[in-house]
Structure 1
């Protein structure tokens, strides 16, 4: 039986590895500390929260913050809105981007080069906020929930990622399908898309996270609270927490002996908002790295 040979590292290699591990641990601590603080504050007693400081474990224990969040009809409704906006927008992004990118991979497509240049230009120049608002107004999308779903479903960056990935798929598979009588749409649906799980997963994650955290579009285009995403409600909660912090000490005194404070509700809302993204990521992690690296493989 052969024994495994161990590679003996030099002193400089061991120092290099130790420094790398230390730096990674510091970065991990810096990233985890705020998340741990938010989670611990959401479970802590209001009287303990008023004392301030960094919470690395719950001080006392209460679920009142989560009860308030889950019983608030506005938060629940806005949460449902956010789920609908995020997944509807992502579905449109994947479908329309794939349909747009595939023709650009066909070498005998006559407008291939011109369309690619035109699309690339949009990465560097945009109409600006005011023209975009006027365009949305002309399209009757102001205070319309579709404004959170339809705009920007096809972007140059995603289009280039899809096109590059499609070009990396063996062209012999397309030729074989054409010989068997398959049309381009059938080739895209039955051959190209099943082989493109990596780029679909990567773009889906980018899109869902971006739309999940999008409060600016709602602030600009939506007037009715019935259409608000949960990020707008969180913004109001954060603003109200700032107002509470600036109140007269006699007003704040009523929170000192309470089991719940505005901070409980604020942190509980943050936890509820970030949970879906944290739950989705492990399932698409194996595709994520391959999709991210595709842009560096072939331009």
Structure 2
């Protein structure tokens, strides 16, 4: 099975390249050949890769920058997502769209299910919701996977930021009033590949299509995640670092974040037989890898 994935340097695509297993070839399509901001590059590049399925993992992910560059975010996350789905439809193959918890406003007092009302509170969230709708309009042969709080050994993410700060500080202030599911991109990659296999192997099973949530098991606030990072670092010989629990209002950002980003991923487990691991073990593994084998900068 050949999986064409948009992007070359993102956390998800790099994780998919690493986790590709026997019988699965992952083809990363990125700039300059494929540029989601240049719609004319999308169809010919994907078609030339001869895929059995397409995964749209590339995105405008700068959440705060999207507040001042919403049109650019809408082009990449919305219009281009629809263009990716259209070429998949033209080729007669499925498409998997990677989406986000930011399509919700975060006001529920429980984990979000797929049928809960969407109400994005940021430009980034609005652009990603636009992408979901464009994909669904372009083809019924789609899966939309919403995930949240992504980290990995690759790129820029919360784990690498905390490890970098720990090199020069003995205390770090971390938000403690946003709740979510910290999710490893390596686990996301495994899940995407499993879902892709299901879609390709069972082309007539409509129950496999639609929207699914894909988050690690368990929940935490950002301060909990930071404490787990620093605990693992200390176990490897690092100096202790304290976490000062602060409110979101103490750390203002251009874009509003959902206070509740928990995703109920039971539908993915029931229908695709895909369940991501508990966040604590995956996080500890990532920290150990970064500190023992790779740079954290």
TM-score (norm 1): 0.22
TM-score (norm 2): 0.22
Find the structure with the greater CA-based Rg: 1
Question: Greater strand share, 1 or 2?
Answer: 2
Higher RCO structure (Cα 8 Å, ≥6 apart): 1
Question: Greater helix share, 1 or 2?
Answer: 1
